[in-house]
Amino acid sequence: YQTFDGDLKWDHNDITYRILSYSPDLDASIIDDAFVRAFKVWSDVTPLTFTRLYNGIADIMISFGKKDHGDFYPFDGKDGLLAHAYPPGEGVQGDAHFDDDEYWTLGSGPAIKTYYGNAEGALCHFPFRFEGKSYSTCTTEGREDGLPWCATTADYGKDGKYGFCPSELLYTFDGNGDGQECVFPFVFEGKTYTSCTTEGRDDGYRWCATTANFDQDKKYGFCPNRDTAVIGGNSEGEPCQFPFSFLGKTYTSCTSEGRSDGKLWCATTSNYDKDSKWGFCPDKGYSLFLVAAHEFGHALGLEHSNIQDALMYPMYKYIADFSLHQDDIEGIQYLYGPKTGPDPTPPKPSTTTTSPVSTLKPTKKTPNTTPSTTPTTTPSVYTPVDPSVDPCKVDKFDAITEIQGELHFFKDGYYWKSSNRGNKARKGPFMVSERWPALPAKLDTAFEGSLTNKMYFFAGTKFWVFTGKNVLGPRRIEKLGLPVSLKKVEGALQRGKGKVLLFSGENYWSLDLKTQQIDKGYPRHIDVTFPEVPMDAHDVFLYNRNYYFCRDIYYWRMTSKRQVDKVGYVYELLNCP
């Protein structure tokens, strides 16, 4: 292994990263997950932790780009250079760039996540059979609305499991169209467009308007690539047109004719000689996970290794069951030392099907029809959550708080809602990451600011402040004036306007939300102000003007006159049967 001159490394172990853009090749959730796993390669063997930021400047800023993409190191079209990253430091240092003229997959061919349908977001299964025919790509057969779909098992006729494939008719990503699907035709600079276009851009990304008139509404999004789309060339995103003629000869499949590099290509119109529109045919693609893990090695301070099996070897090689080579381990531990102690992150639900942030999601919309022999099913927009998670069996919630009149119960990345007004039916589980992206699965405390409706979350020694979906943080709790030695904040009680009492162990502090600082005269001992409640409460919250102190499955309710008037089961608050 090699390190950069002067052993360049981060001077802190809590590294932050931010994903600035996505590739049209993969669903955002698959990209997010690939990056999470790539960081985990390094955090598994060092004391480093990686936290995702959704705005602001992170240590490692991740983006996709093509050719000249804003630094002095342009990419070179399909194949050749795949990505690059900069060693630790300020500015562009630490950043990782991925060449979007590559076909990004998980390394073994198209990884097509489905939407809606009845497969709960499973990947397409290729090939699959449908009405006696085998399909190796998404198809519009059996539908009249042009929406491509696929089966998620080998035989649609037998299992009936299906979902819709990425297409601009289903959703867009990035941009400002909130993930809405394209509206065709749309008007851009007075001209009408009936398909996605690269007009008006010099980076080659295909976009569309999400209303009928871009000039008027300025709403747009980028078009996801269909699985049949060509890569690179001058027709990125368009499907091959078969048959097509090239140098007077007719081709019914991809060919390497006319090229010295043997790469397969096709025309995207019926006549290459006349239109010169072409692109490379989809292949196995490059594993975003493997390339990202390599690039993050650079971003952490490793140079290329000359060991051929090491992750930091400069050439790409697909490995199905990846494990970090000893050379890489020695290299990264030379910089940051070995991992010590147990993993601080508790087990949490699998992230492999985590949804992208909400702005990238398809809108809540049911496709008009389903494949011809399929019964109508309820569309699933949100990430499927394991329905077996029963809140009425949770023996200790991470946090409980009232938000907009409803009690919210948090546990391991999920939350449930209940109310003692109107419909008392319990709602959930919901995923915390859907509503408040950036938060860790394990929370200690949450509360809603009484003046601004901002949401405050505490986990360990960090806290986050949400205004809607916008987040500030994570910041360290000592920034609020809490002691550096404090391990976590376990509860919160809003008092009056703009004050919150924060609880930890047997002490509490008064936080002024306006100044974001702890008031003088704190900490105080719980016993003095709140007698007759347990000293080891792990959840403290305000609900219906009463104070609640929880220990395991029990709560102590205290009135505003500081009298404990009831002790009960937490499940009662959750409206459990």
Partner 1 sequence: WCHPIKTIFVTFPGDVIKNMTDFELAESYLKRFGYMEILDKSGQQGALSTSKALRRLQNQLGLKETGKLDQPTIDAIKTPRCGVPDVRN
Max Cα–Cα distance, the chain, nearest Å: 92
| Residue 307 interacting with partner 1 (CB under 8 A) | yes
Give the interface segment with partner 1, choosing from 98-106, 126-134, 152-160, 398-406 (CB under 8 A). Answer: 98-106
Nearer to partner 1, 318 or 522 (CB): 318
Q: Are 133 and 371 in contact (CB under 8 A)?
A: no
Q: How far is CA 53 from CA 176, 434, 471, 475, in A?
A: 19, 15, 9, 11
| Residue 247 interacting with partner 1 (CB under 8 A) | yes
Give the interface segment with partner 1, choosing from 80-88, 334-342, 379-387, 539-547 (CB under 8 A). Answer: 80-88
Nearer to partner 1, 66 or 462 (CB): 66
Candidate residues 15, 85, 292, 492; the one interacting with partner 1 per rule CB under 8 A: 85
Give the interface segment with partner 1, choosing from 48-56, 79-87, 118-126, 436-444 (CB under 8 A). Answer: 79-87
Give the interface segment with partner 1, choosing from 71-79, 185-193, 361-369, 470-478 (CB under 8 A). Answer: 71-79
Candidate residues 120, 159, 217, 303; the one interacting with partner 1 per rule CB under 8 A: 303
| Alpha carbons 173 and 359: distance in angstroms, whole number | 8
Candidate residues 276, 323, 420, 453; the one interacting with partner 1 per rule CB under 8 A: 276
Burial class from Cβ neighbours inside 10 Å (0-12, 13-18, 19+) for residue 85 reads buried
Q: Are 457 and 464 in contact (CB under 8 A)?
A: yes
DSSP 190: T
Q: How far is the CB of 140 from partner 1 (least distance, A)?
A: 28
| Residue 326 interacting with partner 1 (CB under 8 A) | no
| Residue 70 interacting with partner 1 (CB under 8 A) | no
- Asked whether the CA dihedral 519, 521, 526, 530 is positive or negative, the reply is negative
Candidate residues 62, 82, 432, 511; the one interacting with partner 1 per rule CB under 8 A: 82
Nearer to partner 1, 64 or 571 (CB): 64
Q: How far is the CB of 434 from partner 1 (least distance, A)?
A: 34
| Residue 472 interacting with partner 1 (CB under 8 A) | no
Candidate residues 27, 295, 327, 448; the one interacting with partner 1 per rule CB under 8 A: 295
Candidate residues 81, 212, 472, 576; the one interacting with partner 1 per rule CB under 8 A: 81
What the block records as the tokens of 58 is 């992170």
Q: Are 382 and 356 in contact (CB under 8 A)?
A: no
Q: Which residue numbers are catalytic?
A: 295
- Asked whether the CA dihedral 45, 48, 49, 52 is positive or negative, the reply is negative
Q: How far is the CB of 430 from partner 1 (least distance, A)?
A: 40
The per-residue b/e assignment along 535-566, b for 16 or more CB within 10 angstroms, e otherwise, is eebbbbbbbeeebbbbbeeebbbbeeeeeeee
Report the DSSP beta bridge partners of residue 65: 99
Hunting for tokens 């998980």 — which residue is that?
Answer: 106
The phi, psi pair for 30, rounded to 5°, reads -70, -40
| Residue 237 interacting with partner 1 (CB under 8 A) | no
| Residue 77 interacting with partner 1 (CB under 8 A) | yes
The residues, ordered by sequence, that sit 6+ positions from 559 with a Cβ below 8 Å of its Cβ are 546, 547, 565
| Residue 308 interacting with partner 1 (CB under 8 A) | yes
Closest among 120, 221, 179 to 365, alpha carbons compared: 179
Give the interface segment with partner 1, choosing from 69-77, 103-111, 336-344, 370-378 (CB under 8 A). Answer: 69-77
Q: How far is the CB of 278 from partner 1 (least distance, A)?
A: 6
Total residues contacting partner 1 by CB under 8 A comes to 43
| Residue 286 interacting with partner 1 (CB under 8 A) | yes
Closest among 558, 152, 65, 181 to 374, alpha carbons compared: 152
Task: Indicate the SS3 state at residue 99.
Answer: strand
| Residue 315 interacting with partner 1 (CB under 8 A) | yes
What the block records as the tokens of 245 is 């003629």
Q: How far is the CB of 324 from partner 1 (least distance, A)?
A: 16
Q: How far is the CB of 230 from partner 1 (least distance, A)?
A: 11
Q: Are 305 and 327 in contact (CB under 8 A)?
A: yes
| Residue 125 interacting with partner 1 (CB under 8 A) | no
Q: Are 329 and 339 in contact (CB under 8 A)?
A: no
- Using CB under 8 A, which residues numbered 216 to 235 contact partner 1? 232-234
| Alpha carbons 499 and 496: distance in angstroms, whole number | 6
Q: How far is the CB of 307 from partner 1 (least distance, A)?
A: 7
Q: How far is CA 246 from CA 110, 261, 277, 386, 568, in A?
A: 27, 17, 11, 52, 79
What the block records as the tokens of 239 is 């499907």
Give the interface segment with partner 1, choosing from 78-86, 155-163, 330-338, 374-382 (CB under 8 A). Answer: 78-86
| Residue 78 interacting with partner 1 (CB under 8 A) | yes
Q: How far is the CB of 116 from partner 1 (least distance, A)?
A: 35
Candidate residues 126, 184, 316, 522; the one interacting with partner 1 per rule CB under 8 A: 316
| Residue 250 interacting with partner 1 (CB under 8 A) | no
Instruction: Return the amino acid letter for 405.
Output: G
Q: Are 363 and 171 in contact (CB under 8 A)?
A: yes
Nearer to partner 1, 315 or 425 (CB): 315
Nearer to partner 1, 54 or 313 (CB): 313
Q: How far is CA 504 from CA 54, 107, 461, in A?
A: 28, 47, 12
Closest among 229, 236, 234 to 275, alpha carbons compared: 234
| Alpha carbons 516 and 459: distance in angstroms, whole number | 17
State the DSSP string of 440-453: -S--SEEEE-TTT-
| Residue 294 interacting with partner 1 (CB under 8 A) | yes
Nearer to partner 1, 127 or 239 (CB): 239
Q: How far is the CB of 59 from partner 1 (least distance, A)?
A: 18
| Residue 289 interacting with partner 1 (CB under 8 A) | no
Give the interface segment with partner 1, choosing from 136-144, 153-161, 287-295, 404-412 (CB under 8 A). Answer: 287-295
| Alpha carbons 530 and 500: distance in angstroms, whole number | 15
Q: How far is the CB of 68 from partner 1 (least distance, A)?
A: 11
User: Which residues here bind partner 1, judged by CB under 8 A?
Assistant: 4-5, 67, 73, 75-85, 99, 101-102, 232-234, 247, 257-261, 265, 276, 278, 286, 291, 294-295, 298, 303-304, 306-308, 314-316
